[in-house]
Amino acid sequence: MRWYLKLLPILFILLIWQIASVLINNAFILPQPLSVAAVLSNPTVDILGSGSIFDNAILSIWRVILGFGLAVLCAVPFGIIIGRYRLIEELVNPVIQLFRPIPPLAWVPLALAWFKIGLASIVFIIFIGSFFPVLINTIDGVRRVNRTWIETAAIYGAKGWKLLAYVILPASAPIIWTGLRVGFGVAWMCVVAAEMLPGTTSGIGYLIMYSYNWGQVQVIVAGMIVIGVIGIGVDVVFRAVEKRKFQWQEMNR
């Protein structure tokens, strides 16, 4: 499909948006696209003393990097161990299944009680939200490694860290990468939600709530668009790496 054809749905949404905003004629309910575009065209301008869209977005990204990075550092090794050893999986699986369905925001009261309002509580919520998608995909990726590859490598003397580095990790990497992609998407949603909590003073989620309190709906919509654009941008990077590094997976199917 040609690139300009992909713009048609966006143009259609903008047209419907413009018509609806004119018919409603209430900027607090639905601002016009041009007023939102005016906010987006000046991303470094301070908004009502709460910082610019750019500054708040950078803070949100930094928080996601911290929380998501910690989740990856914990979930990937843990997932490899669980995936490799059936006994450990049987022991910890009930605990994983108990905590996995709990929504990240359900941890907010505990996060506030343990870490108070601030960076630590936000990072904790991001960590919880992204930990389980990465963990489950890592376990699944390790368990799906072709047993013939492992047995063949063992015949040639590969064991321990060599077996892990040269067979298990490369073979399970595509599924682990999918877990990272899903986990980052969840982490990005978590940071925005966590930044909307009372007491938070920065971040794109905070900017949205702060603008709501002042009736600046055009800023709210602009913030939502920024959230979507950043999410799309990161996902494009994940997909580009997947396409470049894991082409062999398609050939193996």
pLDDT digits (tens, 9 = 90+) for 233-247: 999 999 888 888 776
Instruction: Answer yes or no: is pLDDT of 130 > 60.
Output: yes
Question: pLDDT averaged over the chain?
Answer: 86
Residue 193 has pLDDT above 80, yes or no: yes
Residue 250 reports pLDDT greater than 60? no
Q: What would the mean pLDDT of 197-219 be, rounded to a whole number? A: 87
Q: Measured between alpha carbons, how far is 121 from 79 in angstroms, rounded to an integer?
A: 24
Locate 62 and state its tokens.
């930094």
Q: For residue 191, is pLDDT > 80?
A: yes
Give exposure, 129-166, as e/b (b: 16+ Cβ within 10 Å): bbbbbbbbbbbbbbeebeeebbeebeeeebeeeebbee
**pLDDT grade, residue 1 (50/70/90)?**
low
Q: Where are the alpha helices (DSSP H) in the chain?
A: 7-24, 33-40, 53-84, 86-99, 108-115, 119-143, 147-155, 161-163, 169-194, 204-213, 217-245, 247-252
Per-residue pLDDT of 28-42, as tens digits, reads: 888 999 999 999 998
Q: What whole-number distance in Å separates Cα of residue 15 and Cα of residue 21?
A: 10
Q: Is the pLDDT of residue 132 over 90?
A: yes
What are the tokens at 155? 């015949």
What pTM does this model have?
0.86
| Res. 221 pLDDT band, cuts 50 70 90 | very high
Q: What is the pLDDT of residue 83?
A: 86
Q: Which has more confidence, 72 or 145?
A: 72
- Which residue did the predictor score with more confidence, 161 or 113? 113
